[in-house]
Structure 1
């Protein structure tokens, strides 16, 4: 019997980023519904992140609703995923999330209060140089 293993986080991010570029044309009400679902998942992710529940926050930021349509929330979700990965000692996933955010938005940057952070500041610099 084969046991299915979950996708690695970088692979899951790569799949979601790639899928977000495959837009189909939807009617306006459906786009509004997708955006509302994305905003709800993102808001819940922020709440969980701020509460220190990084694993649950990561699940929210990887919710398909955020990745169904092109959305400005995607780069922000990737930023918070990166922060979560760095805070929990996963620098490779942190770098990959930053690289994915830069791929979605080449002008993506950290706020002035985030740049000098000792955990994710250097990782972001490394990702931005690639």
Structure 2
């Protein structure tokens, strides 16, 4: 039994080191299928947002939703960040609409303390959540 376990651990270790390009391509393909075709756009949108490139973030986040995200949490995240950008851009109606979409998918959604305390979208989020 110990020998079989040892052999299995050695084999697993050897296979883990076999990161050839075809294996990486297959892993990336499986991840895209698993998360949805819009996942690369979601990742790009979040990166753009963090780097202050809000117009690019908005386009990428919209594209992620249009292409499809399999996980509700990814959809909620896209809508939440679209709402942030809308609110910061003075588009309160669109901000509200995106918060409504996010809360429809996840009625238990809460913003992180730093997000909830934001002077522009914090009150909008609380208003939308309170009216549900």
**TM-score using structure 1 length:** 0.68
Partner of 1:20: none
Q: Which runs of 5+ in 2 are unaligned?
A: 1-28
Runs of 4+ that moved beyond 4 A: 29-32
CA displacement, residues 46-73 of structure 1 (integer Å, 9 cap, x when unaligned): 1111222222211111112344x34320
**TM-score using structure 2 length:** 0.67
Partner of 1:113: 114
Q: For residues 34 and 60 of structure 1, what CA distance do their matches in structure 2 show?
A: 19
**Structure with greater proportional helix content:** 2
> How many residues are paired up?
101
Choose 1 or 2 for highest CA Rg.
Answer: 2
Higher RCO, 1 vs 2 (CA within 8 Å, ≥6 residues apart): 1
Q: Which runs of 5+ in 1 are unaligned?
A: 1-28
1:109 Cα deviation (Å)?
A: 1.1
Partner of 2:89: 88
Partner of 1:35: 35
Q: For residues 104 and 78 of structure 2, what CA distance do their matches in structure 1 show?
A: 13
